[in-house]
Each structure stands twice: as structure tokens, then as C-alpha cells.
Amino acid sequence: MNTFSLLNARIQEVLGKTFSIPTEPQELGIPLILEGKDVLLIAPTGSGKTEAAVLPVFHKILEDRARNRKEKGFYALYITPLRALNRDMLSRLERWGEELGINIEVRHGDTSTYARRRQALKPPDMLITTPETIQAIIPGARLKENLKSVKHVIIDEVHELANSKRGAQLAIALERITELAGNFQRICLSATVGNPEEVAKFFASHKKMQVVNAVSTKTIEIEVLSPERMEKDVMTAKLAVDPEVIAHVRIIRDVVKAGKSSLIFVNTRRAAEMLASLINKFESGLIGVHHGSLSKEMRIEAEEKLKRGEIKGLICTSSMELGIDIGSIDMVIQYASPREVTRLVQRVGRASHFFQKTSKGKVIALTPDDVAESVVIAKRAKAGEIEDIKLKECSLDVLANQICGMLLDSGVISLDKLHSLIKKAYILSGISLLKRWCA
């Protein structure tokens, strides 16, 4: 008997069409989530951790519906740090929703007025959204009513949020939702967390969040390259580009052409545009470019071209670190030192996006210092030595923002109630400081 047998019969029927046996994160995570435990699930990219989180929630929705317990409103929130990841998650979960009769919708800054009104009047079972949109939903009269039925909150890519003020805002917003809905289940997901016990506290409120760590079952291979310029690179310098850069471009072209599908990560948008322009001068249509300054339509077009095989690579920035579906990738190239072990693991993890397969990556180092730094980072990545996430604690600007939001929401709030609500958030556990500041 495996973990899938614990799930609703309709879910098992759909699983039979896609998954044969559960992955390790699913075996470890699904029973705990079904028990109602708060869970931080850490597992490699492509290991099925999204299904480990959502399938037990779908089970609960179907079971409550069978008992006629479903209230009107949002049953579950799925929070991701990027609108692009919202869109991708919707496309991944819609099939499940159609098969199971569960309504799933997305809401963020690009959502049309018509869709927003429809969601307010006829709320979906699961709402996929961003931390910022959660802040906007809480004060709305009708949407606030829909939040009262929340039973589960899934937070994806928590490593992106736990060290930022966006995450601090979200942590307090979750406590404000608790005031409306009561204690709901919290499920956090990530591929890379160096200090999981601390990160679990960040979103856990006053309850203990159980850590499930399944990162040891996927290996990565990383090679650090320092391309030397050749005579033909010097001859190509008529493009008014340094021969060393031409050598880098040559290596990237060779690696991309040798594989089926590649991601080339850079640290800045300027570098993305520069490399894309140079590579396509040598071989038009070999790669595309993807970063946050491009329009949503251009980003989607680049993603779809890579999926269809019309281009062999995509030069991208940090947005592609996260779990956006771009099909099967067999190689990741990092241009210049990634600066952090976490970032390199996250990026290389996009290659061989399947559980228990080796992810392969190459780092193209630009200078001797870059080589030394990249070698150390690569060794630590292969050893699983991930940096600790520095949590954003006691951010008084975040506190001030949330106090203003609560006052706009309720008009009047007593200091005791304000104090009681905010002290539940781990990031403001230095509560005596808050007492003095409010007084």
C-alpha cells in the first residue's frame, strides 16, 4: 500500500493516468498534510512537491463536499512570489480541477476587472495569488467574507520570501486572515533552504510547523569553465566586442547546440540582452531571451518557443529559477559566478526536471577571481551546503505598514488587540519592543 491509497477515490483514479508510484516527497508529505499538520516540504525541483501539497487539499475539498460542509468562499489559497508562476501554476492545476470538479482561478495585478468581480461573487475553491494581492484582498468587504472559509494556505518558493520584506508583510497578513478564518493549515514549499527550522517558524505563527526534508535524493553535476580566447575570437573582434566575451559566446553556442534544450542564466537584464544579441548575430534563432522588463506576451512567446523546440536555449534572469514549466531542460549554463550556493542549486535544478535524475550545469567564469569563487560555490552546491536564509525580523517599516492597513480596514483597533494579533507573527517576536513603540 502506498501513500496514494490514502487519497479520495476520484483522485486515485486521476493519478492512475499520470503517476504510477509516489515520489519520496509525496510519501513523506501527503500523510502529514492529510493529518492537518503544518508542513515545510523541502524537495528538489521536479520531485512532485506541488502534488504533495495540493492533492491532500483536493482530498479535503472533496470529502467536505461529500458531507455538505463546503462553505461559500475560498477553501484554499496558493501563494507564489511571481505573477508568472501564478500563471504557470494555474495551467498545471487546471487539469486536476477539471477532472475533480474543483474550481481553481488566479488573481494578481493583471487580472481583469470582470474576473475580479466574478471571483468576489462566485469564489473559486482554490485561489492562486501573490503576497501583494493578498494584502489588497483583506480590506475588501465581499472578499473579506470569502476569506472566512479558508482552511489551507500553500506558500510556494518560501526561500524567496523568508529573507525579504515581502515575506514579512505576508507573515503578518496570514495572522490577519487567521482573525477572519480561524486557524488554517499552512503548507510551505521550497527546493533550497539552509536553515529549515528557522524558516518554518517564519510562517508558522504560534503552532509548530513540521519540516520534511527530501533533498538528498537528487544529484547535480557542475563544471566550472574559464574559456580562453582563440585566434578566431580575436579575428571576430571587429564586432567591437572584447575577444574574451567572444570566447564566452563561442562556448555557450557550442554547449547549446550540443544539447536538446538549455537555460543560460545571467545575473542582470543587461547581460541577458547583450549575450542574446551576440549569439543570434552568429546564429540567428538559436536562443531567446526572458527577463522581467519584457512584456508578459514576449515572455510567454519565448517560453512556448522553447517548449516547441523552435529555439534551443533561453537566456534568462532570476525569474526562471522558480518552477515555471518550460518543458524538458538537459543543461543549465550560469554566466559569471552566481554569488550564492542557493542560487546555483536552484538554477541547475531546472535541468533534468525529473526526480532522481542528475541535473547538469556549467558555470562560465569571467575572471580569475570569478573562477575561484565559482569553484567554491560549485563544491558546496554538490555537497548540499546551502547558506542559511537571513530572516527579516522586527522590520518596523513593515509593522507600520500593517498597522495602517488594519486601521484602514477596521477604523478603530485597541492597542491590546493590535498587540495580540501582531505578536503571533514570528518576525515580531520581540514584542516588548512593539509595546514601547506603540505607547
> Which DSSP string corresponds to 349-380?
TTSS-STTS-EEEEEE--SHHHHHHHHHHHHH
Q: Provide the total of helices (H) and of strands (E) in the chain, helices listed first.
A: 19, 13
| Predicted local distance difference test score (pLDDT) of residue 369 | 95
**DSSP 3-state of 255:** helix
| Predicted local distance difference test score (pLDDT) of residue 433 | 45
How does pLDDT run across 150-160, given as a tens digit for each residue?
999 999 989 88
Percent of the residues in the chain that have a pLDDT greater than 70, as a whole number? 91
How does pLDDT run across 121-136, given as a tens digit for each residue?
999 999 999 999 998 8
Q: What is the DSSP code string of 175-211?
A: HHHHHHH-S-EEEEEES--SSHHHHHHHHHTTSPPEE
How does pLDDT run across 164-196, given as a tens digit for each residue?
888 889 988 999 999 899 999 999 999 888 899
Q: How far apart are CA 358 and CA 342, in angstroms?
A: 17
| Predicted local distance difference test score (pLDDT) of residue 21 | 87
Residue pair 90/104 in contact by the 8 Å Cβ criterion: yes
Residue 90 cell numbers, joined: 494555474
Residue 354 has pLDDT above 60, yes or no: no
**DSSP 3-state of 262:** strand
Helix-helix angle 165-181:196-204, to 10 degrees: 50
Q: What is the DSSP code string of 90-107?
A: HHHHHHHHHHHT--EEEE
Q: What is the DSSP code string of 282-322?
A: HSTTSEEEE-TTS-HHHHHHHHHHHHHTSSSEEEE-GGGGS
220-225 and 76-79 beta bridge pairing? unpaired
| Predicted local distance difference test score (pLDDT) of residue 237 | 55
Residue 391 has pLDDT above 60, yes or no: yes
| Predicted local distance difference test score (pLDDT) of residue 429 | 66
152-155 and 313-316 beta bridge pairing? unpaired
How does pLDDT run across 249-295, given as a tens digit for each residue?
989 999 999 988 999 999 998 999 989 988 888 888 889 999 878 88
Side-chain half-sphere exposure of 175, counting CA atoms within 13 A? 28
pTM for this structure? 0.86
Average pLDDT in the 212-221 region? 76
| Predicted local distance difference test score (pLDDT) of residue 355 | 52
Q: Report CA-CA distances (Å) from 417 to 114, 140, 142, 421.
A: 36, 21, 23, 6
Give the full edge-to-edge strand order of the sheet including 39-42: 104-107, 126-129, 76-79, 152-155, 185-190, 39-42, 210-213
- Better-predicted residue by pLDDT, 108 or 333: 333
Residue 13 CB neighbours (<10 A): 12
Mean pLDDT of the chain: 86
Residue 361 has pLDDT above 60, yes or no: yes
Residues 6+ apart with CB under 8 A from 103: 97, 124, 125, 126
- Better-predicted residue by pLDDT, 136 or 219: 136
Residue 53 cell numbers, joined: 501539497
How does pLDDT run across 8-53, given as a tens digit for each residue?
999 999 988 777 789 889 999 999 999 999 999 998 877 889 999 9
Direct distance between the N- and C-terminal alpha carbons of the chain, in angstroms, rounded to an integer: 59
Q: Torsion-angle region of residue 227: left (phi > 0), alpha (psi -120 to 50) or beta?
A: beta
Q: Report CA-CA distances (Å) from 53 to 60, 186, 288.
A: 12, 10, 33
Q: How far apart are CA 257 and CA 264, in angstroms?
A: 13
Average pLDDT in the 62-67 region? 87
259-283 burial by CB neighbour count: b if 16+ within 10 A, else e? bebbbbbbbebebbbbbbebbbeee
| Predicted local distance difference test score (pLDDT) of residue 37 | 95
| Predicted local distance difference test score (pLDDT) of residue 255 | 93
